[in-house]
Homo-oligomer: A and B are copies of this chain.
Amino acid sequence: MPVYHAPIQDMRFVLHELFDSSTITQLPGNADFTPELMDSVLEEAAKMAENVLFPLNQVGDLEGCVYENGVVRTPTGFRDAYKAFCEGGWGAMAASPEWGGQGMPIPAAMMVEEMLCSANVAFGLYPGLTHGAYVALSHAGSEEQKKTYLPNLVTGKWSGTMCLTEPHCGTDLGMLRTKAEPNADGSYSITGNKIFISAGEHDLTENIIHLVLARLPDAPRGVKGISMFVVPKFLVREDGSIGPRNGLQCTAIEHKMGIKASATCAMSFDGAKGWLVGEPNKGLAGMFKMMNTERLSVGMQGLGIAETAYQNAVTYARDRIQGRSLTGAKAPDRQADPILVHPDVRRMLLTMRAYIEGCRGLAGWVARELEILNKSTDDEAKQAADDFSSLMTPVVKAMFTDMGFEIASLAVQTYGGHGYIRDHGIEQYVRDARISMLYEGTNGIQALDLVGRKLPQDGGRLLTRFLDPVMEFIDAHADNAALEPFLPPLQQAIEHMQEATGFIMENAMSNHDEIGAASVDYLRLFGLTALAFVWARMVAIAAPKAEEEGQGQFYRAKVQTAKFFMERLLPQTGALLAAIRSGSTTMMEFEDAAF
């Protein structure tokens, strides 16, 4: 049976030591969120994740959701778990106190989200989508819409969805066909078919609030003619109670590779009553508010799954005895050594660990900037935070999810043939992780967003929000002996990244295909460089504490994992640079008919 223990020690390291959490407490409105309070939130969240959600992860996969006549049943135990989740206030965690939320600082909330994804990523999609709908409505909705929907979304009494994709359009929303015809009462009649709607129908809540992208009759073609509508499953009466059923239904659920406990619905809107959210034809902007939140959340899915996969691989590597160490028996009293003695097993485990802890540190950084963006009153700091989080959103989404899949697969490899057997619960992580590379914009789309939009934006200013602190750090630690083995590889990676950036910017001006040709490799090169910086920062903190009584082992492990990252994983940047520098010619000249 799989194991999961929330990595609270490492989370606290990121929260308090890597990014001084007291500076978060000092932001307006955060006075109550002391470092101690954040700690107790993590501890409570860990209990919920470990004891309530994690035990349902395998049963959720085995049973999946069941569809019958428009109704969707979630797997055994999900209703009770959802009730417990809402009663614990976890759905309200990140929402504003104005609407009944707890206004939890994002750095802590994001760690709770990681736990949720580690424990049961399919479950997590239900409150996750609700929070996305909350974000979109609280940004773009009218006061009346907010009052009508937000309080119940925050408590989790109702849930939310985002209805974008149609059978013929996903990435290219400009082609969407769902129509919205105005009614006399100011509402609209929504008609069309949507697919891949997570939590589109289920048995966890009394109402489901759909945010639907559709076209008004006079809308311009393409993405500039898309509006957003709020379309509840049950109409809401003036007194806030549940009214009649709206004209929409779930017509099927998808049978998928993984996240089987998450209902992925085909939805049919047949003159359903909806209300315009925000301005006409500006629906995509509103949806993207939600989308950016979702993209970071999807990144946390990759990280969360990776953490559980790692923990199980370690447990197996300790328990499974097989063969002898190449340097002589390490457990001579037993028939064989635990496979943890084998260098290649350690290589796999340290690869997982180096990515996971690096990504957790990077997530902590992005979360801190988002918190500053949300709560600071310093315009300059807010702008910097906005720049940085915009820049990093596609990196977190794509790199974390690529890693989630890769790490889950490495965990299977650690198990040998046993990893392929469903009962062990480990292959589920590979299947569950695979979706995160696809939804909320494929990882290829994330890379295009990074290279085609974020890099050139505002004359390249966004990128300086990453490079400036790196340069400051390198300068500040030039004489720090503890960092001696770490700064040269970091500098090398930065050079690779800058060379790649220069190459793309120069060539993309005359040929836009250079953007697409470089984008995925560039995102990975950027991501690895960001991890290298995070690891160097972690070493700066950990190295002086490595010989401390008690906690020394934790800090020594940090320094050694950093070393492993620099030696074994970071050299990929050179290969990525070479690939990028080869440009678009070969791939574009290849004859279409020859594929």
Residues of A with Cβ closer than 8 Å to B?
165, 168-172, 174-175, 196, 254-258, 314, 317-318, 321-323, 325-327, 335-336, 340, 342-350, 353, 405, 409, 412-413, 416-423, 427, 430-431, 434-435, 437-439, 442-444, 447-448, 452, 511-517, 519-520, 553-554, 556-557, 560-561, 563-564, 567-569, 571-575, 578-579, 582, 584, 586-595
Contacts and interface: CB of A to CB of B under 8 A. Distances in A.
Contacts of A423: 254-255
Contacts of A347: 517, 520, 587
Contacts of A345: 444
A322 B176 CA distance: 11
18 contacts: A175-B336, A254-B422, A255-B423, A257-B427, A343-B517, A344-B516, A346-B588, A347-B517, A350-B587, A413-B437, A413-B443, A417-B435, A554-B594, A556-B594, A557-B590, A567-B582, A572-B572, A575-B575
A395 to B, nearest CB: 16
Nearest to A221: B335
Nearest to A196: B417
A327 B409 CA distance: 37
B422 A513 contact: no
A587 B517 contact: no
B553 A593 contact: yes
Contacts of A165: 417
A515 B342 CA distance: 10
Given A256-B422, A347-B520, A578 B586 contact: no
A172 B409 CA distance: 22
Given A344-B516, A420-B434, A564-B587, A444 B413 contact: yes
Nearest to A328: B512
Contacts of A169: 322
A467 to B, nearest CB: 23
Which 7 A-B residue pairings sit nearest by Cβ, starting from the closest? A343-B516, A567-B582, A571-B578, A326-B512, A557-B594, A257-B427, A343-B517
Given A326-B516, A347-B520, A350-B586, 20 more contacts: A165-B417, A168-B321, A172-B336, A255-B422, A256-B422, A257-B427, A314-B595, A325-B513, A342-B516, A343-B584, A344-B448, A344-B519, A346-B588, A350-B590, A413-B438, A413-B443, A553-B591, A557-B591, A561-B590, A571-B579
A421 B254 contact: yes
Nearest to A310: B595
A412 B431 CA distance: 12
Nearest to A311: B595
Contacts of A582: 567-568
A170 B417 contact: yes
A422 B257 CA distance: 6
Contacts of A561: 590
Contacts of A438: 412-413, 416-417, 419-420
A223 B174 CA distance: 65
Given A255-B423, A257-B427, A322-B172, A590 B434 contact: no
Contacts of A595: 314, 317-318, 340, 349, 353
A390 B367 CA distance: 53
A371 to B, nearest CB: 31
Nearest to A565: B586
A342 B447 CA distance: 13
Nearest to A583: B567
A420 B336 contact: no
Contact of A586 (B412, B442, B567, B590): B567
Nearest to A347: B587
A170 B438 CA distance: 35
A566 to B, nearest CB: 9
B413 A587 contact: no
